[in-house]
Structures are given as structure tokens and as C-alpha cells.
A = this chain, B = another copy of it.
């Protein structure tokens, strides 16, 4: 069994690589819901949608989010009626939000609704929202406190970030199956998602970080930082806002209390050597260097294979150490 903790876009690509080399029934995907919001009164779960569309083979490969060959007629109509239109909901995507909203208003939990959606789309991997409660990633900026999608999509992450909080997290509980999946998986993989606002909300749900501490499996993360910047998106600025270096060292520090393996890009070979040399070995993960940038499907599959191989090696090392 393999469990993945993930956000949307970059994480979805990583999951796509995994699903091509691992039997889908062996994959449990725990997904960030901190970006969820009500849009036109409908419940939108951007990261769950990206994962579900990817697993169902429906994601737009050009955009990296939403449905392939999408149209936006409802969105244009809403704009004409004077409603907000900055969040690009396509017509096919809208069906998903309507269906989820109906399931929720009929009494389903988000995890039940997600399981139903996955079933309808023929998805065999298990997709688990991190929590059925409302946990909202709130981004404090000079312009005020924003929802994550306001910060990320509406304002294109141009605001300087003063603080991040996960509203509701302290009262949230992991969805059924999340803690067991983490505790019982052979490998627990953190996708190359934004550590602060994609993986961070998952870690903020009480019980999940503890489960990572208790996990017997190998825990590996793929760094979304290459060199001194994120591959895409605001991960760099957000790490800096939390006092972490914008480098693989910052990522290692962010996950240091539970991480066994950090997978970094070949461009960071030197940084990897420095990290291996200078850090306290008890809190420094094993560094695995490979090509992490996923430009095409071959890259995705190769990265997934490389990460799994690094986990196998690390597992053998751990077992050898335990037996010694």
C-alpha cells in the first residue's frame, strides 16, 4: 500500500506517474481541502477535482487543472449577469460542483461525496479529503485576509504574505481511513505540492502529524523547490513567509520531524551534498537526487519509479539498521 499526501496541480502530475506504475487499488490519496470554497453557492474542492480529473483521465493536460476540451459558457453568462467570474469554472467542471453540492446538501460528508464521485468516474484508487470539516487556508496580506483561491487565482499571488492560518483546523478530524492509511502503508509520499498551503493544511488536521510520527512505512517527499524557486506557483514566497529557506534545505526543515527521504532535482546535486554534510544526521532525511521536473508523461512515470525505488532502498537501510 502507498499513501500520497497531495495538493492539486503538481501533486496531480505526480499521482498520474504513480498510477501508471502501481496497481490503482494500492493507492490511497489524501487531498488538501484548505482551498475549498463556495463559488456561486456551490462547493468547489479544487485539489480533489484535480486529483479526480487526473485519475479519471479527464484533466486538461495543457492547463493542468479542470477538464480537457472545456468550454466556459456558464461562466460568461454569470459575468454578464454581474457575478464574479475570476475563478474559471468550465461547463463540464460545473457539473462536478453541482453534483458534489447536491450530495452534500442531501446529507453526505465530503468523503462520502468524493467516494461517490470517484465511483461514478470509474476511479479505483482511494481518494480521501483530509477532513470532512471545513478547514480554510487563510492568507494574511496587506490587502487583508484572503481565502487561498482569492490570494492564488484572483490576485495571482502578488500580495506579500504576512501570515497563514488554517481556520477550523483545531476542531477538525481526519476523514475515516486517513490515519490507518498513513500508519499501515509501506510508503507515504508527499507530492511536490506547496508545503505551506497544500501539505501544510493536511498536517494541521489533528492526528495526521502524529500518525506520520508513528508510521512504520518510509516517508518520502518530492521537493517542489528546485534551486531557489518553486517550479510553479507561490511555494517559495510562502516558505519564506514562514521563516524557511527557499531551497531544498527549507523543504527538509519543513518536514524534518517525520521525513525519511527527500527527493530533489538533479539541479540541486551540490545543495544535496551540502545538506548531507552540514546537517545533523538525526533530523536530516536521506537525499535522493533525480529529475523531478515533469514536462511530459515520461517524466511523470520516471519520477514515480525513482521515488518508489528510493523508498525501497531507504526501507532496506532502515530494516538493516534495525536488525543491527
Binding site for B on A (CB under 8 A): 40-42, 67, 71, 73-78, 81-83, 90-92, 94-96, 98-99, 101-102, 105-106, 117, 120-121
Contacts and interface: CB of A to CB of B under 8 A. Distances in A.
Given A73-B91, A91-B73, A40 B81 contact: no
A95 B71 contact: no
B73 A121 contact: no
6 contacts: A41-B106, A71-B71, A71-B73, A73-B90, A78-B99, A82-B120
Contacts of A92: 73-74, 76-77
Contacts of A106: 41
A91 to B, nearest CB: 4
A110 to B, nearest CB: 15
A73 to B, nearest CB: 4
A106 to B, nearest CB: 8
A83 B99 contact: yes
Given A41-B102, A75-B95, 14 more contacts: A40-B98, A40-B99, A41-B98, A74-B74, A74-B94, A74-B95, A76-B92, A78-B95, A78-B99, A81-B117, A81-B120, A91-B91, A91-B94, A94-B94
Contacts of A96: 77
A42 B101 CA distance: 10
A121 B105 CA distance: 29
Nearest to A71: B73
Nearest to A106: B41
Contacts of A91: 71, 73-74, 77, 91, 94
Contacts of A81: 95, 99, 117, 120-121
A100 to B, nearest CB: 10
Contacts of A101: 41
Contacts of A75: 95
Contacts of A99: 40, 78, 81, 83
Nearest to A81: B120
A40 B102 contact: yes
A223 B102 CA distance: 40
B77 A95 contact: yes
A193 to B, nearest CB: 26
The 8 A-B pairs of least Cβ separation, nearest first, read: A41-B102, A77-B95, A73-B91, A91-B91, A74-B95, A77-B92, A81-B120, A74-B91
A294 to B, nearest CB: 27
A69 to B, nearest CB: 9
A78 to B, nearest CB: 5
